[in-house]
Amino acid sequence: MADIKSLPIWLEADYQQAQQWRRSGKFHHALLLTGNQGIGQSALADALARLLLCERAAQAPCGECHSCQVALAETHPDWLTLDGRAGASIKVDAVRQLVTKVTNKPQLGYSKVVTIHDAHQMNINAANAILKALEEPPAATYFILTSNSSRALMPTILSRCQRVNLPTPSAQQVSDWLIKETNSDVSKLMWFSNTPYHLLSLVETPSYDMLQKLPDSLVSWLSGHIRVDEFVAYMNKDHVQDFVDGLLALLTSALQYSATGRCDESVRHALEALLQRYDLYRLMHFVQQLTLFKSQLDKTHLNPTIQLTGELNSW
């Protein structure tokens, strides 16, 4: 029961469905959770793993049995994980090691769970190595895969999994949940991202402050109150990507605003400042230039502050 409270409201229906499968013994041995990035695939996968590991099927997750307790502490020996999040590829060696462990009997309870976060990060060899286990899993072994890019998964993997497509939450649901989770109004950054777990990850990072200041400092620069180097000085040098993503979000929001008249109220002043100063072609050109700049960030060893200052000087 504890689990459902920590899941956001838009995942509750899918969780409850899975709970019924668990209690009635109808849980598919391979589940693939798909949906937009950052809406909680991994949080749900972890909750389902705890549900499956509980020793009392009829009340799972009871929260009291030994399996429930070690699963909550994330030290359950029968809970195996492969993690492709943060863009790391899942290597064939890691998959082979896991497949070997999967054939062992459960150490604690009655079942074993394998969670594979961002399963599309398995390369072709890794995916081939897991196929057999997915097709003919050892008894009481469950695979839970997540992906926001299921088209990147091999059809042979897809065909072996029961797919659950998670709903995209409304802006209001995201905002309510973030306020509850963080006690700070992260919803002020919804112009930057509408993916709840991405926003949650920004809290207590330097990017959080930086992005909150970005719209106002952009307006100060556009209206000539600060110079370009003073504007770029708002950028935290360890979080250049977030700063550039922030600028890109404001540019694309300005384009949308001019087309639809709709925008996030908290950044309307910045969007109007952009539209007053530049025509749409210039804004689209800036989007292209910044996207290119971003893609080259990791490849060049030049100082990003100097590069970005040079880029913005051409605006």
Instruction: Please give the residue ranges that form the binding site for Zn ion (CB under 5 A).
Output: 54, 62, 65, 68
Q: Which is nearer to Zn ion, 62 or 228 (CB)?
A: 62
Q: Which is nearer to Zn ion, 36 or 59 (CB)?
A: 59
- Minimum CB separation of residue 109 from Zn ion in Å reads 8
- Minimum CB separation of residue 53 from Zn ion in Å reads 8
Instruction: Give the chain's radius of gyration (CA, Å).
Output: 23
The CA-based angle 261-278-315, given to 5 degrees, is: 135
Residue 206 half-sphere exposure toward CB, CA atoms < 13 A: 10
3-state secondary structure of 31: strand
**Phi-psi sector, 232: left (phi>0), alpha (psi -120 to 50), beta:** alpha
The pair of structure tokens assigned to 64 is 């009291």
- Minimum CB separation of residue 184 from Zn ion in Å reads 33
Cα distances from 68 to residues 40, 76, 259, in angstroms, run: 21, 9, 52
Q: Which is nearer to Zn ion, 56 or 285 (CB)?
A: 56
Q: Which is nearer to Zn ion, 24 or 100 (CB)?
A: 24
On whether the CB atoms of residues 32 and 147 are closer than 8 A, the answer is yes
The letter for the amino acid at 175 is S
Q: Which is nearer to Zn ion, 68 or 153 (CB)?
A: 68
- Minimum CB separation of residue 47 from Zn ion in Å reads 13
Q: Which is nearer to Zn ion, 70 or 199 (CB)?
A: 70
**For the chain, give me the number of helices (H) and strands (E)?**
15, 5
CB neighbourhood size of 107 (10 A): 9
- Minimum CB separation of residue 71 from Zn ion in Å reads 8
Q: Which is nearer to Zn ion, 68 or 232 (CB)?
A: 68
**Phi-psi sector, 266: left (phi>0), alpha (psi -120 to 50), beta:** alpha
Residue 299: phi and psi, rounded to 5, are -90, -30
- Minimum CB separation of residue 81 from Zn ion in Å reads 19
Burial class of residue 45 in the structure, from the number of CB atoms within 10 Å of its CB (0-12 exposed, 13-18 middle, 19+ buried): buried
- Minimum CB separation of residue 72 from Zn ion in Å reads 10
Q: Which is nearer to Zn ion, 65 or 153 (CB)?
A: 65
- Minimum CB separation of residue 102 from Zn ion in Å reads 22
